[in-house]
Structure 1
């Protein structure tokens, strides 16, 4: 089931608060709202209890960070800086 785009008008203070709460949870504001509203809809009986949120739909496994060449090079560089002799 794909995500549907929707626009809502909200008080600026609410938008700022959502941004802060999302940042505190290390989530995007969109993801934070989706989780919050999904759980609320389940609690109110608008979604079945066994319903699960969509999760990541952009493709690929984003649960583990990729180790890139630049990351490997940076690790090597940091390791050599720590092993320098005086």
Structure 2
């Protein structure tokens, strides 16, 4: 939702939409919240792409070692995805 809309629209939605929901917030807090939501949408997409760029053989190798999902991600997939994300 947040990635497909312009940042100015997101700022307006948070600032003017919060009072509609019953939240009276400071304009600086509204701007900060909108910027955080905007950047998290883009960073989430970057990390998703980096994780999907890891070859399937790496996933299969980690699974062949009978690693649980969290260990598989922490020890095998995410270090490789971090190298891709830095570029």
* TM value normalised by structure 2: 0.27
Q: Compare the two structures and name the one with the higher helix fraction.
A: 2
* TM value normalised by structure 1: 0.27
Which structure has more RCO (C-alpha within 8 Å, separation ≥ 6)? 2
